[in-house]
């Protein structure tokens, strides 16, 4: 028994060290670190840690201990939640949906705004807002349309209860980052046709995913190997959430799932021609749709639903949407999604505020309070969003 323990004590650290060395090697072989990113060493270290955690998760999944996604979520959730003496944080449920309500302790002289955002405490303090964070159900246990329905149901219930929480119904803001930005975009399109509810005043879309159709945009080409959302990770998450078999990966990436008649209908909104030329690199190529694959289309055609690709909403719906603040990052594979959706707003006369972060990358927002692991771009985005909300 003592020998087994000795082998474990020696073997486990050796194995973990070897796995980390593999992650470092993979990073330097595959990752692209744009020159505009500040603190490049810190960026590389974080990506190596990410690769290490993902590799360990894959091993645990193969050993049937837990799924890789469950392990990654567990690691992301580990941490100490600091109590803020200036806030009241309440965990509750709207039906079966877990939500967390953030409220300032100080009594406000006027009704407060509301918004959804992961950086809850900071925004509540900075903007004197009531904030509701929706704990929507996630992968790997839940698939589309669970996130959409959870966010929609929680939003509707909260909008019906604004008076209870002292929220001014004329100053409600919805905010989301990445898939949260997608949730805001889809939910708000439904809400504009609900006259019995308070109308949302504004929306904040931070590096959102807006469509799953044209994956050949300039940003997809330029940033396909930029951590932390590489093309491989993006397509894996997309396929898992939409229950699409990964065997259709190449068809999705080349546009072979797009029928010619649909491309003729939607290219005015989805084409790379809508991306300003200053965002094109020397290597960027206009999209060239692969040979149409009908079998692939039949398996993936739900990506043309407005609940999945909200950019496909008709002009009448877009024109009714509230003003928007878009945040895009230069080194983000989803950069052009924000640019395409912004143009749709502008074409329909919807007021738009746009903030582009030259040294930003996907996911940098979540690092804003990680102290020495934070990045200047993280704080820029947070401060910009807080300033926008305060001016609503």
Q: Using H for helix, E for strand and C for coil, what is the string for 327-390?
A: EEEEECCCHHHHHHHHHHHHHCCCCEEEEEEEEEECCHHHHCCCHHHCCHHHHHHHHHHHHHHH
The residues carrying an active-site annotation are 178, 332, 362
The contacts of residue 268 (CB under 8 Å, 6+ apart) are none
Q: How far is CA 21 from the centre of its chain?
A: 29
The residue among 231, 211, 215, 370 whose CA lies nearest residue 305 is 211
Contact 311, 269 (CB under 8 A): yes
Angstrom distances, CA of residue 127 to CA of 8, 25, 60? 52, 44, 42
Please give the structure tokens belonging to residue 2. Answer: 């003592």
Angstrom distances, CA of residue 281 to CA of 42, 85, 124, 163, 277? 26, 48, 39, 50, 8
Sort strands 87-94 and 97-104 into parallel, antiparallel or unpaired: antiparallel
- Residue with token string 């091993």: 59
The residue among 24, 22, 48 whose CA lies nearest residue 228 is 48
- Residue with token string 């505009």: 36
How would you classify residue 295: left for phi > 0, otherwise alpha for psi between -120 and 50, otherwise beta?
alpha
Map residue 55 onto helix, strand or coil. Answer: helix
Please give the structure tokens belonging to residue 276. Answer: 């300003």
Please give the structure tokens belonging to residue 380. Answer: 């820029």
Let me know if 338 is exposed, middle or buried by CB neighbors in 10 A (0-12, 13-18, 19+): buried
What is the residue-wise DSSP string for 181-249?
Answer: HHHHHHHHHHHTT-TTSPPP-EEEEES----SS---SHHHHHTTT-SSS-HHHHHHHHHHHTT--GGGH
Contact 118, 135 (CB under 8 A): no
């Amino acid at each position: 028994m003592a020998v087994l323990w000795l082998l474990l004590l020696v073997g486990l650290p050796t194995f973990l060290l070897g796995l980390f060395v593999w992650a470092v090697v993979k990073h330097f072989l595959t990752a692209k670190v744009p020159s505009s990113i500040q603190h490049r060493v810190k960026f590389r270290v974080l990506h190596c840690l990410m690769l290490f955690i993902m590799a360990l998760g894959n091993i645990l999944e193969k050993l049937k201990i837990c799924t890789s996604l469950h392990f990654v979520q567990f690691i992301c959730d580990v941490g100490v939640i600091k109590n803020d003496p200036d806030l009241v944080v309440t965990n509750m449920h709207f039906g079966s949906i877990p939500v967390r309500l953030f409220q300032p302790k100080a009594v406000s002289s006027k009704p407060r705004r509301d918004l959804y955002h992961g950086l809850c405490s900071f925004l509540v303090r900075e903007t004197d807002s009531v904030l509701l964070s929706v704990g929507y159900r996630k992968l790997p246990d839940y698939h589309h349309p669970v996130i959409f329905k959870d966010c929609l149901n929680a939003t509707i219930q909260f909008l019906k209860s604004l008076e209870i929480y002292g929220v001014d119904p004329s100053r409600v803001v919805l905010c989301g980052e990445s898939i949260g930005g997608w949730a805001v975009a889809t939910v708000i399109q439904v809400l504009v046709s609900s006259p019995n509810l308070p109308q949302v005043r504004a929306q904040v879309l931070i590096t959102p995913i807006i469509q799953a159709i044209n994956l050949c945009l300039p940003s997809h080409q330029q940033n396909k190997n930029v951590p932390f959302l590489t093309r491989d990770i993006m397509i894996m998450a997309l396929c898992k959430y939409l229950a699409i078999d990964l065997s259709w990966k190449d068809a999705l990436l080349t546009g072979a799932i797009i029928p010619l008649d649909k491309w003729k209908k939607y290219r005015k909104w989805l084409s790379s021609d809508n991306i300003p030329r200053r965002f094109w690199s020397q290597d960027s190529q206009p999209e060239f749709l692969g040979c149409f694959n009908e079998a692939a289309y039949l398996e993936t055609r739900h990506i043309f639903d407005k609940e999945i690709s909200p950019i496909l909403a008709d002009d009448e719906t877009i024109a009714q949407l509230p003003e928007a603040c878009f945040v895009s990052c230069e080194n983000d594979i989803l950069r052009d999604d924000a640019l395409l959706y912004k143009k749709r707003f502008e074409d329909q006369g919807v007021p738009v505020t746009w903030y582009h972060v030259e040294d930003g990358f996907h996911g940098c927002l979540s690092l804003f309070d990680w102290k020495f692991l934070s990045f200047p771009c993280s704080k820029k985005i947070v401060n910009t969003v807080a300033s926008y909300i305060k001016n609503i």
